[in-house]
Chains A and B, each alone.
Chain A
Amino acid sequence: MQAPDSTPFVEMTGVTKHYAGVTALDGVDFVVHPGEAICLAGENGSGKSTLIKILSGVEQLSEGEIRIGGAPMTGLTPRDATAAGVLVIFQDFSLFPNLTVAENIAFANELSEGRKIFSRRHARAVARKVLDRIGVDIPLNARLETLPVAHKQLVAICRALACEARLIIMDEPTTALTGKEVTALLDIIRLLKEQGVAVIFVSHKLAEVLAVSERVVVLRNGKKVAEGDAAEFDAASLTHHMTGRDVAEASPGAFTGTGETLLSVEALQKEGSFRDISFSMQTGEVLGITGLLGSGRTSLAKALFGLVGPDSGRIVLDGTEVPLGDPIAAAAARIGYVPEDRLTEGLFLTQSILRNVAVGRLQEHERGGFLDMRGLVGEAADWLTRLKVKAPSITAPVQSLSGGNQQRVALARWMARAPRLLILNGPSVGVDVGSKADIHEIIRDLAQQGLGVIVISDDLPELLATCHRILVMKGGALTDEFAGGTITEDALSQKLAS
């Protein structure tokens, strides 16, 4: 399918980028036509964010050429890109929580017009005009921090439009949205395309946006590995191109059962997050919980580890009731939790690998208040070897490690505590392809050793490859249950979105 206008708006040819010896992008050609929507797919480290950074002027290319609107661009800066109509909506939206909707929308526009005097009326007029353009009504005087996530995203889109955007690049646009909100977003995208605005979706899960896209471009290891009509792709073929593997990892199949109940959750409830959650699992079982963002899956995961205090319900582990809303009690009951955001929640980046592992089991190494350093070092080193962490030294700061090794350090901390139940929230987010398979292997190993593992994720291939059973959450409730090997990725993704 050819775009309606055949003169390309953006033309990138032979774009190459080296970072300190690493080639992040290698001779990539990339073209965007007006009014066209493109899915730019690739796993972390594939080079897709580098491409976007170059296009938006944040990074400079090492070799190659960029033309925007037919004009060659050398030394592109963020301001040049904005002026040329290329705008990025970051995953965190880069908005100002303390300012009003109108100001957030109009700010960039006022700034680029070189205004010195700020007129509330003018800002409101600008904001009103763009909101009308996409047919959305958000109170202009509301403080941004009071808005729901979906509205914040709309404000970010409006801000781009207020700058007369001709190309909007959206970084992971659907991660924070519920199914209904995604539909509303897609309607707006269609509207923008009719108005001649091009859109690039940057994402690692594209099933949701395929419907409104003309073209798909897949990057892997800095090279373009696939490009074609969106109609030719489905979730499975995208995964195939992104990972470069022909066959998906095999499902462990349905759980055959050890017969010992490890965990039972009874009528767990928290207003506004999840309701009436009941399930149980056995030792040695890997249980997947999935759902879109806002479905309550993360709240539930946190509640199981006491980080969120449920209003009512019971959590029983090995026949003993675990106090609710107390992470220290949960840890004492031998529940472990590896959070989704490794960098801010999971690890102490500036601290050594040793400390990151050791902090999990300090109590056991305290002799009258003093730490038995030798024991601590020995044990941590042992776990790091068992989990195959590649590191120059045990005292190197964790931030010097790759994503996959960082995740192993986070796992090692909990493994050292010999947990009965390990909750992994997004275990392979931001991990390269090779490490991902390794982490899945670790999960399978853990289950074999008789642990219960709960994997919370929206990475469907990951769930299918690791879980004996998958629970689907929607609007705060458990809605479906599938035994491993009984459902395909497409079917599961339809269950999620419906």
Chain B
Amino acid sequence: MSGSGPRTEQTLTQAPEFRLAIIAVLVFVLMAVLSPDRFLSAQNMTSMAFQFPEFAILALAMTITMTTGGIDLSVVGVANLSAVIAATILTSLAGPEAAGAVAFLWLAVALGASLAVGAAAGFFNGVLVTRLGLPPILATLGSGLVFTGFAVAMTGGSAVMGFPDIVSVIGNATIWVIPVPLILFAILTLGLHILLTRTGFGLRVMMYGANPLAALYAAIDIDRILMRVYVIAGMFSAVAGMVIMSRANSAKADYGSSYLLLAVLIAVLGGVNPYGGYGRVVGVVLAVLSMQFLSSGLNMLQVSNFARELIWGGLLLLVMVINTTDWARLSARRKPAKTG
């Protein structure tokens, strides 16, 4: 939008998204140079496109809650709970042998159920935050345990599997050459971008994040805004749950446990202000791409999964230090103030 917040006075090169774009390009080039034939191969490109949507969608869910100055620590719990419920429908009601229209119908039912679970979970978070006045960290920490707990209780902790073949379409199929998960991610990204920048709701979300008290005095219906934010986050998480379920061809209460950190990391890396009031979807997309390039490249360089964790965490800290530190202030503090 034309009045896009405090950063419009800056030149393009000063925007955090610009820095991020450079990082993404640098990582891409670095990986391409280090491992040209493998990193640049069509096969690698496709496999990257299949890999990142599931956690990238969770990062989008995190983004919308963070722009309000909140956080959603329950995204993975919601994803798994909705996947477990969808999986239960698919295995016990449809069964692995279901095919054709019957299978399609049951898939639609399962998807509907999972979205409904996501919405209900988000609604529950919204109630905790708005009606009880719990800080979002605590509310979603607690509810995340409850959602995961339900998934554990339903499954006894083991994986639910045995789906009709059609289920794999969500996570593994391609339309023309484009992977379905990537299409889902693209739709949600575009949707969230439009929601945040082109609608009154999005503007209200940003304004609330910038100053909750002023939002109250400006007669913004805060409770309704927050409710919708957490419901959207819940539904996005449910979509991520479906992708994870389809790709794993099963659902389990503790899938994707490292994704929570990753989702927060991507959102913060993407320039979303964890105190609220600023966040752009394009930044989050760039952050996702950087992470995926880095992750795939390291994979090809035979770097262990654990080193990846180390690099991700290090990157988060580095970006935070660069983005938020007022270097002038730091150096001024070290020198004693001059007197005139």
Which residue numbers of A lie inside 8 Å of B, CB to CB? Answer: 60-63, 74-75, 307, 327-328, 330-331, 337, 339, 344-355, 358-360, 362-363, 365-366, 369-371, 373, 377, 393-397, 400, 413
Contact = CB atoms under 8 A, between A and B. Distances in A.
Given A351-B210, A358-B3, A395-B9, A371 B199 contact: yes
A365 B200 contact: yes
B339 A60 contact: yes
A484 B220 CA distance: 35
B193 interface: no
Contact of A307 (B206, B217, B337): B217
Nearest to B198: A370
B100 interface: no
21 contacts: A60-B337, A63-B340, A337-B217, A344-B214, A345-B213, A348-B207, A348-B211, A348-B215, A348-B277, A349-B210, A350-B210, A350-B278, A359-B207, A359-B220, A371-B1, A371-B200, A373-B1, A377-B3, A394-B3, A395-B3, A413-B218
Contacts, number: 112
Contacts of A366: 199-200
B29 interface: no
Given A330-B219, A351-B210, 12 more contacts: A327-B216, A331-B219, A337-B217, A352-B4, A352-B8, A355-B206, A366-B200, A369-B201, A370-B194, A373-B198, A394-B3, A397-B6
B5 interface: yes
B329 interface: no
Contact of A359 (B2, B204, B337, B339): B204
A234 B207 CA distance: 45
Interface string B134-175: 000000000000000000000000000000000000000000
A324 to B, nearest CB: 15
Contact of B214 (A346, A395, A400): A346
A60 B338 contact: yes
Interface in B179-221: 194, 198-201, 203-204, 206-207, 210-211, 213-221
Most buried by A among B5, B199, B200, B336: B200
A78 to B, nearest CB: 11
B332 to A, nearest CB: 12
The interface size bin for chain B is: 35 or more
A358 B206 CA distance: 13
A344 B218 CA distance: 12
A355 B3 contact: yes
A394 B1 CA distance: 13
Contact of B5 (A62, A63, A347, A355): A355
A353 B4 CA distance: 10
A352 B277 CA distance: 12
Given A307-B216, A395-B8, A62 B340 contact: yes
Nearest to B208: A348
Contacts of B337: 60, 75
Contacts of A362: 200, 203-204
Interface string B212-237: 01111111110000000000000000
Interface in B1-46: 1-6, 8-9
A351 B218 contact: no
Nearest to A352: B3
Nearest to A342: B214
Contacts of B194: 370
Contacts of B198: 370-371, 373
Contacts of B199: 366, 369-371
Most buried by A among B194, B200, B219, B220: B219
A397 B277 CA distance: 13
A395 B200 CA distance: 17
A345 B214 contact: yes
A65 to B, nearest CB: 11
Which A-B residue pairs are the 7 nearest by beta carbons? A331-B219, A354-B3, A362-B200, A75-B339, A395-B8, A397-B6, A352-B3
A350 B5 contact: yes
Contacts of B339: 60-61, 74-75
B2 A363 contact: no
Nearest to A302: B217
Contacts of A393: 9
Nearest to A335: B219
Contacts of A75: 336-337, 339
A360 B215 CA distance: 10
Nearest to B218: A359
